[in-house]
Structure 1
Amino acid sequence: MKISLLKKLSLAFLITVLGSILITNLISNYMVSKKFDTYLIAQRKNEIEKVKKSAIDLYDENYSDSSSCYDSNAKSQLKRYSKSENIFIEVKNIKDKVVFSSSESDSHKDGMMNSNMKSMMHNHMINKYSSNYEYIEKDYPISKGNKKVGTITIGFFSNSYLNEGSLKFKSALNNSFLISAFIALVIGLIIGIIMSKGLTSPLLKITNAANKIRNGNLKARANLKTSTKEVYELRNSINYLAVTLEKQENIRKRMTSDIAHELRTPLTILKTHIEGLLDGIIKPTEENLESFYEEIERLINLVENLRNLSRLDESELNLNKSNFNISKETIKITNSFEALYHKKGFKILKNIDSNIIVFMDKDKFNQIVYNLFSNSYKYLPINGEVNISLKKECNKIILKIKDNGCGIPSKDLPYIFERFYRSDFSRNKKTGGSGIGLTITKKLVEAHNGSIKVESKINKGTIFTIEFPL
């Protein structure tokens, strides 16, 4: 089952907040409760010490009442301590006779201890505190000077330090933790939903734009504003993809028209000439046969370029590298073009460093230079010239082919290496190519880990610069 990103992010944020709150509450509650209990236990010990000290200070072994060593005020004070501190107090004299008990009733004036009083006191404390806690009694000696005169017994439950006020405080503390956790959970959920929507909303817009592009609407764009870096880059990538696909689609349409035109023109000429030959209107002269040959040659070149481009796309180029003198090879290619250039009145100027040895594919290098020379030849004006230079600089070889031809419009420069792309200038030339030669040239250069760039100005000329690493 597919779950939306909004739900996933909201749920993840909610679980994170809930887990954080739960852990924080447990740790905080445990630490605060432990510290508070430690504080109360310390307070209980101080109070017991205070009661013990008071009982010892108030003890009078020479009191006139033989059954007790405390007067009425002392007894009242000790009973108040017993009640306020929730402890049992019992004092015995040196003869182990009970002279005071906090459970003693005022009606027992005879000083005799009711045998059930201690049990009643225990029951009273058990009713007040949970029976799960241990009842503890401790005996302390009563001394006057250096003489022991009696014993005081103090009894309490192990949780007796939890008086009503402390219990209320702990309950209020726990409730405050629960309320805080609930409020934090609600706030976290709201913030999580807002943040998730803030993230998923632009993604949905980008997705919608991508779906439109997938369905053929190449003009669709992801138009949104975002401050999230990743979403911003994704938006730009989708828009760049749309722009690229749109350009490629336009190039394909243009290519279809160009290829149809390139094929139709020579085929129409051939058909017309052959019909003329069949009808006896045209004679099979050398001039007419030469015209046939030129048209057939155009068709062969076009098909060959298409085949080469297809082979380049099918897989990586298999380079047959070897060591050779690139200086001599460049001069050799240049010399092969001189006769063709001279026939049109063009010049080729050479500035080639001698004896540069490279490890490259010789045939592919020849094709690179051949394509660039052929390209320059098509667009040279009267008295045009091409300057070729080959230099070795540091760890690279720089090949430049500069001409004074008609140039390339600046709007076309970014696209001239794209397949089937031809500027308006080249389209209007009868000798205009198919727009594949420079694409092939760039692929061959990059196969050698090289780079190619172009500079051009209208009616000033064009410079192709190629760099090969040594």
Structure 2
Amino acid sequence: MKMSLMKKLSAGFLLAVIGAILIVSFISNYMVGKKFNNYLIDEHKDKVNKIIITAQDLYNDKTGFSNINKDELLRYAVLEEFYIQVKDLSGNIVFDSGNSHLQHRSMMESMMGTMMKSGMGNHSSMNVGEYKEEIHSLVKDKKNIGKIVVGYFGTSYLNQGALTFKMTLNHSFILSGFIALLFGLGVSFILAKQLTKPLVKITKTANEMRTGDLTVRSKVETKTKEIEELSASINYLAETLQNQEMLRKRLTSDMAHEIRTPLTTLKTHVEALLDGIWEPTEERLQSFYDEIERLTSLVDNLRNLAKLEQADLKLNKTKFNLSSELEKVILSFEPLYSKNNHIIISNIDKNVWVYMDKDKLKQIMHNLLSNGYKYLKSQGKVVVELKKEKEGICIKVQDNGIGIPEKDMPYIFERFYRTDLSRSKSTGGSGIGLTITKSLVESHGGKISVESKEEEGSTFIVKLPKQTICEIGKEEW
């Protein structure tokens, strides 16, 4: 049978409190009772010693045991519930306290009965006990003058005051345990409620997400770090799923748009040829070919993207001069930029040697420079920087083009994602180039990010780790 978390926590706390109360009560009762009994036994011994001293004082060297101060022994016997008998050297009884000790037994039995009726006290260790006698020699001035018999019941040291103290002590333990139990029950209920209430809310949020409502968010107020982190994780998951759902829908729309455009063009042209409106000229056949190339390029990009996103992407790493390779890539783009009155500028540190996949590096730069070129305004400019830093290598591609809207920044590296501004341009690509670039950079252990502002341009930043750098003259890895 399954129990709720609140019931389990409450039961666990309560069992811990009960266990602690029982352990503390048992140990405390045992230790205090033991020490108190030892104290009473020592007191008993002191009383016996006082009786012996008093009896020895009754002896006189001239008259022997006199009648002087015998009343004091009798009062002591009655007060302390002892039986006292004093004998001289001849064995004659010179003092006998009578049956005062029997009165003590009767009183003790009466008190024990009262305690048993009230259900209090440790009865097994507080019974009246058997009658006992101690015989001690009486010595005065190092001379044996007789003997003294001290009789008492086994627990004569448990007088009325001692019994009252023990009863009060036991009452205190029971009352304290009961109060502690109530306190523990209250605390366990409060703590369990504080822990389970936010968890119930988080569970409710997760269930709503499962039914398809990705707009829901977990709103819990708690001072528990782990629960707060769990709530934040659920909210992050909901936001991520919502964004992915938006991207999925946009992907479907974009793919339909990308495929429909060339197909529509082909269909229209073919219908015109079939109807005899157009003649199959070389120019029109070239238009057909261009549209087919667009579809082929789209399919190739999809295939390349699938390969890049595989976990076992293989890199053919070699040692080469990154500075020289970047200069070559920039040089290959200069005619394209010059043709449209754009300029490309390099600001590259010299002799930066790396251990990377050269072809993948060229593909990264080709995608970034092509992307920058497509969205330049009239007389645009692109600046390529290479800096060797303490943390590794930094490559920047900065343009003064149309920029990226702030709302599109989080999704710019998602597959098939294109901003509204890029879609309005006839040169807009398929939306896969930056996704491929990101995969290639991350395959080398690096990171790519973008900084952009509308109508001012964009800066793509590629950070490669320090491990990619190698020194000139070092053997190939």
Q: For the Cα contact (< 8 Å) 2:81–2:156, is it kept in 1?
A: yes
Q: Corresponding residue for 2:90? A: 95
Q: Corresponding residue for 2:322? A: 326
Q: Corresponding residue for 1:55? A: 55
Q: Corresponding residue for 1:422? A: 418
Q: Corresponding residue for 2:208? A: 212
Is 1:363 the counterpart of 2:356? The answer is: no
Of 73, 91, 107, the residue aligned with 1:78 is: 73
Report the more deviating stretch, 25-34 or 350-359: 350-359
Q: Corresponding residue for 1:19? A: 19
Secondary structure of residue in 2 paired with 1:265 = helix
In the TM superposition, residue 201 of structure 1 has moved relative to its aligned partner by: 0.2
Is 1:10 the counterpart of 2:6? The answer is: no
Report the more deviating stretch, 301-310 or 160-169: 301-310
Percent identity over the alignment? 53
TM-score by length of 1: 0.88
Is 1:155 the counterpart of 2:158? The answer is: no
Report the more deviating stretch, 444-453 or 145-154: 145-154
Q: Corresponding residue for 1:42? A: 42
Letter in 2 for 1:462: S
Q: Corresponding residue for 2:274? A: 278
Of 436, 439, 456, the residue aligned with 1:440 is: 436
In the TM superposition, residue 185 of structure 1 has moved relative to its aligned partner by: 0.9
Report the more deviating stretch, 136-145 or 235-244: 136-145
Secondary structure of residue in 2 paired with 1:439 = helix
Letter in 2 for 1:91: V
Q: For the Cα contact (< 8 Å) 1:252–1:420, is it kept in 2?
A: no
Letter in 1 for 2:295: L
Of 333, 336, 340, the residue aligned with 2:336 is: 340
Q: Corresponding residue for 2:369? A: 373
Matches within 5 A, 1:296-311: 296-311=292-307
Q: For the Cα contact (< 8 Å) 1:103–1:121, is it kept in 2?
A: no
Distance 1:285 1:383 in 2: 36
In the TM superposition, residue 408 of structure 1 has moved relative to its aligned partner by: 1.2
Q: 1:432 to 1:279 in 2, by over 3 A?
A: same
Q: Corresponding residue for 2:459? A: 463
Q: For the Cα contact (< 8 Å) 2:77–2:83, is it kept in 1?
A: yes
Report the more deviating stretch, 321-330 or 182-191: 321-330
- Residue-by-residue CA offset, 1:445-470 (whole Å, 9 max, x unaligned): 12212122222222221111212122
Matches within 5 A, 1:156-305: 156-305=152-301
In the TM superposition, residue 428 of structure 1 has moved relative to its aligned partner by: 1.9
Distance 1:100 1:420 in 2: 120
Distance 1:301 1:378 in 2: 17
Secondary structure of residue in 1 paired with 2:363 = helix
Distance 1:308 1:232 in 2: 41
Q: 1:104 to 1:272 in 2, by over 3 A?
A: closer
Distance 1:238 1:390 in 2: 40
Q: 1:24 to 1:240 in 2, by over 3 A?
A: same
Secondary structure of residue in 2 paired with 1:454 = strand
In the TM superposition, residue 358 of structure 1 has moved relative to its aligned partner by: 1.2
Distance 1:187 1:225 in 2: 25
Report the more deviating stretch, 330-339 or 255-264: 330-339
Secondary structure of residue in 2 paired with 1:412 = helix
Q: 1:83 to 1:314 in 2, by over 3 A?
A: farther
Letter in 1 for 2:459: I
Q: Corresponding residue for 2:115? A: none
The answer for unaligned runs of 5 or more in structure 2 is 113-125, 470-477
- Residue-by-residue CA offset, 1:356-395 (whole Å, 9 max, x unaligned): 3211112221221111112112111122222222233346
The answer for unaligned runs of 5 or more in structure 1 is 106-117
In the TM superposition, residue 8 of structure 1 has moved relative to its aligned partner by: 1.6
In the TM superposition, residue 279 of structure 1 has moved relative to its aligned partner by: 2.5
- Residue-by-residue CA offset, 1:173-221 (whole Å, 9 max, x unaligned): 1121012111101110111011100110001001110111122100111
In the TM superposition, residue 320 of structure 1 has moved relative to its aligned partner by: 1.9
Distance 1:77 1:265 in 2: 129
Q: Corresponding residue for 2:473? A: none
- Residue-by-residue CA offset, 1:297-346 (whole Å, 9 max, x unaligned): 22222222222332333424222211122223223323333333333332
Q: Corresponding residue for 2:122? A: none
Distance 2:271 2:55 in 1: 142
Distance 1:318 1:286 in 2: 43
Distance 1:121 1:389 in 2: 112
Secondary structure of residue in 2 paired with 1:206 = helix
Q: For the Cα contact (< 8 Å) 2:128–2:155, is it kept in 1?
A: no
Q: For the Cα contact (< 8 Å) 1:321–1:361, is it kept in 2?
A: yes
Secondary structure of residue in 2 paired with 1:411 = helix
Distance 2:293 2:78 in 1: 122
In the TM superposition, residue 121 of structure 1 has moved relative to its aligned partner by: 9.5
Of 392, 399, 402, the residue aligned with 1:396 is: 392
Distance 1:146 1:231 in 2: 83
Distance 2:83 2:279 in 1: 142
Letter in 1 for 2:156: S
Q: 1:383 to 1:290 in 2, by over 3 A?
A: farther
